[in-house]
Amino acid sequence: MSKKRRNPKVDQQIDENLRRVYAEAAEEPVPDRFTQLLEQLRQQEQSKQGDEDGTNK
Question: What does each of the 57 residues of the chain score in pLDDT, given as a tens digit?
Answer: 456 778 999 999 999 999 999 999 899 999 999 999 999 999 999 998 888 777 655
In the chain, what are the domain boundaries?
31-57
Residue 50 contacts residue 56 (beta carbons within 8 Å) = yes
Residue 47 contacts residue 56 (beta carbons within 8 Å) = yes
- What pLDDT does residue 55 have? 62
